[in-house]
Amino acid sequence: MWSGRQARFRPLACGVEELRRRRREREAALRKARREQHLVSKRLLREDAEGPCAAELLREVEVQQFLRLAQSGTDEKEREKALVSLRRGLQHPETQQTFIRLEGSVRTLVGLLTSNRALLQLEAARCLHELSHSEQSAVAEACLPATSYLLTYLSGHSSDFIELCLYTLGNLIVESEAVRKQLLPQGIVPALAACIQSPYVAVLEALGYVLSQLLQAKEAPEKIIPSILDSTLPQHMLRLMQPGPKLNLGVAVEFAWCLHYITCSQVNNAVLITHGALATLVLLLLDLAGTVQRVDDAGLELFFLQKQPSLLPEGLWLLNNLTANSPTFCTSLLSLDLLEPLLQLLPLSNVVCILVLTVLCNVAEKGPAYCQRLWPGPLLSCVLNTLTLSDTEVVGQSLELLQLLFLYQPEAIQDFLQQSGLQALEQHQEEAQLRDRIRALQQTAIHA
Amino acid sequence: MLFPPALCARLAGAPGAAEPLPVERDPTAGAAPFRFVPRPVRFPRDHEFFEDGDVQRHLYLQDVLTQVSEAPEKSMVPEFTCQVAGCCQVFAALEDYQHHYHMLHANTCSLCSRAFPSGHLLDIHILEWHDSLFQILAQRQDMYQCLVEGCLEKFKTSQDRKDHMVRFHLYPADFRFDKPKTSRGPAMPVAADLLARALQDDGAAMEVCSEPTALPPCTRTYNHRIPSTVCFGQGATRGFKSSKKKNKHH
């Protein structure tokens, strides 16, 4: 989170190497979880100086005592302290289980949440927030009686409280389909549509989080995305992603992910387009590109390589979709001198190489007018380099490009021969998937 | 920016795209044994293509998790009392007071002192409890609107509305902000009634904003001026008479 309140970090207790190792482990765990289709992450707003390790296991009788004190103690301060102790205890998963198994516990908590004591309300909401962090869906479902109130409070005015309610909702949503099944008829979409007009950045970021969790649900394309597209949420999301002095990155990140989940579900992207999604996103991308630090290699920063290598395939995917059936985009790619930057990307990885070659094929297949802009130039020697690689798919795509080039720009063949192109082809002529195409190219080259 | 110069010129607003180059295809292009066909590609959400991005996303969320911040420093001030009539709560931190004010006084009915969590619920309350025109109209048409934001249904009675909210919106039957109207009219002395009700349902709805009987005498032994740094939207209560109801001041 980017708000000032969260900007304070605990001093590091371990070295950089240890951090790297942990990060690699976390990354591996996340990849595994994704492949097994249960990638879930939650946010936790924890404002405790002692930190999570201090959570002691509370016994059932202690939980009961704290609850009783909080509910009917006579001294305001005592009630608050009891709830704080309960909240700390609820950081521990076992205590969470103990709590939900206690009869009337959630009911009491909800009573405190809706009481007329503001500070008790806040602490009760924090207790719910701790519960929402549980990885047991039973705990999330135990919080169902509170959801109508959490939604109601979203139209209040206390921004910290709203933020807390939002993160709690977001956590509950991701944990249990039963929770989502209740929240939708309870009006979560209109509630969010009203809340997104808040001027508070922290609230907006929290809201983006809730929405992103809702949109990731497996039933989202059928049950959730249609009503979101029908609401005013898309317009507001796009408004909050406009580049400019008011753009807040934390907020924009959340809504960008929301838009991704919506668009890749292919429910009704036309709606987004009519709201100006394309223009907004393009402008934002350009704006972000402009803030990337200068580096010496010209052109590379077009794809923010130095900072985010994983963005490259996605950028190229976009280029492919733009150029596949559009002479206009192909022409633009050439006239904007993007050819050389693209060629520089070829050596980076097989995935990137194939994508670049595909984009180049998109351009080349449009005919002689296009191929004349591909050669003469550095393209041929770059493609010859890719022929030296061993990946069959890479080589195959290079062969496709060569066929188009030879067909529409036969003068390139001489250059190909002079650069020992035939020898490069020979390397692969036994490969089953490449054999026929190699032979065809060899024939073409020899007979030119 | 080190973009290619042509791109910079375009971004700076140079004249738009040149005419696209003429397309002229040969039928042997992409013919067997070759196979290239340009086509836009779509990836479903679970596709491996998005794995890197998804992993980045979740690392980001987890990082946020581990950025445990210290307890937020509250702006401590000399103790002061809430200035709203009938409320004697004492505060020593501005954030606490702001939260208290927003939750208990920002949307309060000036006629019966009930507090509501939002302007929307307050508006409905005023309409249904304190508007005699409403009562007249309600005899002839469905006037009780559903409390759920975005639902346009209206009902003949508040009970019908409650049934709708329970069955259709899965709201709890004892939803705190939908109490049925009591038989007392606005003419009754408010304070006594508030006290009586407070004794009845301690810890229940946010409907009363004054203390229950265990009131400390509100003798001002402390500075009761609200620090000038405290500032929040429009003033405390709104009642039927002053309602340009649709004004939101926040």
A169-228 residue pLDDT tens: 999 999 899 999 999 999 999 999 999 999 999 999 999 999 999 999 999 999 999 999
Q: Could you tell me the two tokens for A88?
A: 């700390």
The complex's ipTM works out to 0.80
* pLDDT score, position A118: 86
Rounded to 10 degrees, the C-alpha dihedral A91/A96/A98/A103 comes to 130
* pLDDT score, position B64: 57
* pLDDT score, position A98: 94
Rounded CA-CA distance A310/A313 in Å is: 7
Chains A and B: how many Cβ contacts under 8 Å? 278
A8-17, A434-443, B49-58, B174-183, range with the lowest pLDDT: A8-17
Contact B55 A34 (CB under 8 A): yes
Rounded CA-CA distance B171/A431 in Å is: 66
What is chain A's mean pLDDT, rounded?
87
Residue from the list B29, B50, B107 with its beta carbon closest to the beta carbon of A404: B29
In chain A, residues 49-68 whose CB comes closer than 8 Å to chain B: 49, 51-52
* pLDDT score, position B5: 58
Is the pLDDT assigned to residue A2 strictly greater than 80?
Answer: no
Q: Which residue in A has a C-alpha nearest to residue B147's C-alpha?
A: A152
Is the pLDDT assigned to residue A365 strictly greater than 90?
Answer: yes
Is the pLDDT assigned to residue A112 strictly greater than 80?
Answer: yes
Give me the DSSP letters along A84-142. Answer: HHHHHHTTSHHHHHHHHHSTTHHHHHHHHHTSS-HHHHHHHHHHHHHHHT-S-HHHHHH
Residue from the list A26, A119, A330 with its beta carbon closest to the beta carbon of B62: A26
What residues of chain B lie within 8 A of the CB of A42, using their CB? 61, 65
Is the pLDDT assigned to residue A146 strictly greater than 50?
Answer: yes
pTM (2 d.p.): 0.80
Rounded to 10 degrees, the C-alpha dihedral B105/B71/A196/B108 comes to -10
Contact A195, A203 (CB under 8 A): yes
What residues of chain B lie within 8 A of the CB of A47, using their CB? 69-72
Q: Could you tell me the two tokens for B180?
A: 């049925």
Is the pLDDT assigned to residue A253 strictly greater than 50?
Answer: yes
Is the pLDDT assigned to residue A114 strictly greater than 90?
Answer: yes
What is chain B's mean pLDDT, rounded?
72
